[in-house]
Structure 1
Amino acid sequence: MKLLGFCAAEYRDYLVYKLLAEREKEDRVRRVLEKLAGDELAHYRFWSRLAGNCKPRTSKLWLWSILIVRRLLGLTFTLKLLERGELNTIKAYREVLDQLPPEDRSVLEKIIRDEEEHERKIIGSIDERLVSYLGFIALGLSDAIVELMGVYTGFLGATSKAVIAGVAGLIVGVSAAVSMASAAYVQAKHEIGKSPKFSALITGLTYIAAVAALSTPYLLQLPVVVA
């Protein structure tokens, strides 16, 4: 069962990197993605040979969700998100390493090296503007969550109607987004290499996106407990 899981995971990663490469316009970045896809395809073939009957299926919805993340948060953020599971993967591979014959063991050792080097060498070579603004993204998300939770708690204590709490959250959230964007603008003016306008824009948009996500259950008039 472990081998089938390894096989399916590597094939899924291959499809993701292949899909990202096909939609990448910059030649240098496309070559990086093609290198990642090639590595994952080789890894899949290795596990497929050992598993003997590996016919993985990957959800198209999952693949499209990755494309949406790439569009909203950038390629580097998406790749780092995908590579977060690599430590567990490497640990699992090491657990089966001694169970393989010498010729397969040497191949798996190379696969482990590939996985270890993906983020450190390949992903690190992609320089995106958005990555340097992750602090502002985190600021927008965290502040929106804290602010909106306070609003919802207060309104739900006074009314049992979820839609009222949702509308209140939107009103407070939009005004707070403007305030946070202004604060980000001022902060970026004192940081080298940061665009105040872009910092304000990314903070405000992140804040509004978080507000929209948190308000949706209330605006759909779902039960208060569910929302």
Structure 2
Amino acid sequence: MKPEYLIEQQNEINAHHIYRKIAGRIKDAHNKDILLKISKDELNHYHRLKAQTQRELKPNWLLINFYAVISFFLGFTFSVKLMEKAEDAQQAKYQELYDDDPLLKAIIEDEERHEKTLIDMLDEERLNYVGSIVLGLNDALVELTGALAGYTFAFQNAKIIALTGLITGISASFSMAASEFLSTRQEGESEHALKSAIYTGIAYVFTVILLITPYLLIGNPYISLATMLVVAVLIIFGFNYYISVAKDLPFKRRFFEMAGISLTVSLISFLIGVVVKVVFGFEL
């Protein structure tokens, strides 16, 4: 019995339960139907392999629940595509063995042709507003990292920096949400304008809270600044990884571009803070 049969058989039964579990909590009939179809395909593949191995394999419930939790917090599209990427990586490891085996090759080709077509048909609301989320996230990162860097040298008081950053950030989030609402309406998409504004505003506020948190928890403003920049890079990394998986977009270029802009603006703003303090002799 070929060991790769058991590996692929285990993948298929796990995937069957993952798709079915995720589908169980989705209300939208279109998405639910697609996931259940894929789940059925995975079960058929499992039985084809079982006929060869003559082994009944138990699902890996730890892995299944892991993807179910990811689906709950980050959306079913991200969870499904992350699982597919993990399967692709494992199949690539045994590619030569799979190519030489008609059964495994047929199963993999079936998945690539049918299941991935179905996955591309998934329609998740939050992904339809990625542009609005990017707008809120990117503006908050660029503007607030810069502002906090400037405030850090100008004020040199972590609590005041945090308070000023919070006021600046919350005000800017309302302004940005309003601008997105008006912009979307001007483009003739009035039915999406309010949701676009909400997604933009939430992304902005969420980013603001994460960026000012180091100043609230750490007394030294310069350590807070360094920590805030690390948090900013982690936000950029996490968001771009999420989008690269969920929307099948390139990761590295988008990550370095976004991180480079935010860190450059922070450096410039910090230097402006230095100049303001030296020239005007501002002391707090």
Report the TM-score, using the length of structure 2 for normalisation: 0.59
- Paired residue for 1:75? none
Q: Which string of whole-angstrom CA distances, capped at 9 and with x for unpartnered residues, describes residues 35-80 of structure 1?
A: 2334455667859x6999987433856642430222xxxxxxx415
1:1-227 matches, within 5 Å, as 13-40=15-42, 56=60, 57-58=62-63, 63-70=68-75, 78-80=76-78, 82-83=80-81, 86=84, 89-90=87-88, 92-100=90-98, 104-115=101-112, 117-119=114-116, 121-158=117-154, 161-194=157-190, 195-221=192-218, 224=224, 225-227=226-228
Q: Which string of whole-angstrom CA distances, capped at 9 and with x for unpartnered residues, describes residues 197-223 of structure 1?
A: 222222112211222233334333385
Relative distance call for 1:114 and 1:170 in structure 2 (3 A) is same
Aligned-partner residue type, residue 180 of structure 1 = M
Root-mean-square deviation (CA), in Å? 3.9
Query: 1:58 is paired with a residue of what secondary structure?
Result: helix
Query: 1:25 is paired with a residue of what secondary structure?
Result: coil
| 2:14–2:59 contact (8 Å) kept in structure 1 | no
- Paired residue for 2:271? none
Aligned-partner residue type, residue 97 of structure 2 = Q
| 1:90–1:115 contact (8 Å) kept in structure 2 | no
| 1:170–1:211 contact (8 Å) kept in structure 2 | yes
Relative distance call for 1:50 and 1:92 in structure 2 (3 A) is farther
| 2:19–2:35 contact (8 Å) kept in structure 1 | yes
Relative distance call for 1:53 and 1:36 in structure 2 (3 A) is closer
Percent of paired sites with the same residue = 27
| 2:67–2:79 contact (8 Å) kept in structure 1 | no
Q: Which deviates further from its counterpart, 58-67 or 135-144? A: 58-67
Distance in 2 (alpha carbons) for counterparts of 1:5 and 1:166? 52
Distance in 1 (alpha carbons) for counterparts of 2:55 and 2:106? 18
Number of residue pairs the alignment of both structures matches:
216
Aligned-partner residue type, residue 68 of structure 1 = F
Distance in 1 (alpha carbons) for counterparts of 2:64 and 2:160? 37
Aligned-partner residue type, residue 146 of structure 1 = V
Relative distance call for 1:64 and 1:90 in structure 2 (3 A) is closer
Relative distance call for 1:11 and 1:150 in structure 2 (3 A) is farther
Distance in 2 (alpha carbons) for counterparts of 1:93 and 1:221? 46
Aligned-partner residue type, residue 67 of structure 1 = F
Query: 1:126 is paired with a residue of what secondary structure?
Result: coil
Relative distance call for 1:62 and 1:29 in structure 2 (3 A) is closer
Q: Which string of whole-angstrom CA distances, capped at 9 and with x for unpartnered residues, describes residues 138-189 of structure 1?
A: 1111111111211221223245554443333321111111111111112111
Distance in 1 (alpha carbons) for counterparts of 2:66 and 2:86? 24
| 1:156–1:165 contact (8 Å) kept in structure 2 | yes
| 1:97–1:105 contact (8 Å) kept in structure 2 | no
Distance in 1 (alpha carbons) for counterparts of 2:158 and 2:64? 33
Aligned-partner residue type, residue 79 of structure 1 = T
Gaps of 5+ in 1: 71-77
